[in-house]
Structure 1
Amino acid sequence: MSARREGAGSRFLYDSFDAAQARIEANERVMQERWAALEFRLGQIDAVLERLERRIWLGVCGLTAFLLAQGAEALIGAALR
C-alpha cells in the first residue's frame, strides 16, 4: 500500500509530511517579518535623528546670531561714545 493509486483516497494517507522542512519554512517566514520590522524601526530612528540634528543646528545658528548681534551692539555703542 505504499504506492498511491490515482483517485483512491486522500493524498494525506500516502504523501509524507516533512515536519522539519515545514518548521524551517516557518522560521524563515518569521525571520523575514522580524527583519522587515527591524528595517521599519531603523527608518523611524533615522528620521528622529535627522530631526534632532536639524534642531541642534538651528540652536547653534541662533546662538551664533545672538552672539554676533551682541558683539555688533557693543561695537556700535563703543563707536558712538
Structure 2
Amino acid sequence: MSGRSPRPAGGSRFLFDSFDAAAARIEANERVAEERWAALDYRLAHIEGSLERLERRIWVMVYGVAAFLLAQGAEAVLSAAMGR
C-alpha cells in the first residue's frame, strides 16, 4: 500500500494532488514566525515610544533643577548686593 487514499474510479491520476504534510507544516511555521515578528515589532515600537517620553520627562526635570539652582544663585547675588 502506498499510504495514499484510494483514487476515485476513472479520470486522470493527475487531477488529485497528494497532500504534502511536511510542506504544509513548514508553511504554517513560516506564517507563525511572521506573525511573531510583527507582534515583536509592534511591542518594540511601543517600548521605544515610552522610552522617548521618559527621556523627555527626565530632560525637563534636569532643566527644571538647573533653573531652580540658577534662580537661587541669582537671588543670593541680589540679596547680597542689596544688603550692602
TM range (shorter): 0.7 to 0.9
- SS in structure 1 opposite 2:18? coil
TM-superposition CA deviations, 1:16-43 (whole Å, max 9, x none): 1100000000000000000000000000
* Unpaired runs of at least 5, structure 2: 1-6
Taking structure 1 as the reference length, the TM-score comes to 0.84
Q: 4+ residue runs of structure 1 moved beyond 3 angstroms?
A: none
TM-superposition CA deviations, 1:31-78 (whole Å, max 9, x none): 000000000000000000000000000000000000000000000000
Task: Quote the RMSD (CA, aligned, Å).
Answer: 1.9
Taking structure 2 as the reference length, the TM-score comes to 0.81
Higher RCO by CA contacts (8 Å cutoff, separation 6 or greater): 1
Percent identity of equivalent pairs: 64
* Unpaired runs of at least 5, structure 1: none
Distance 1:36 1:80 in 2: 66
Residue 30 of structure 1 aligns to which amino acid in structure 2? Answer: V
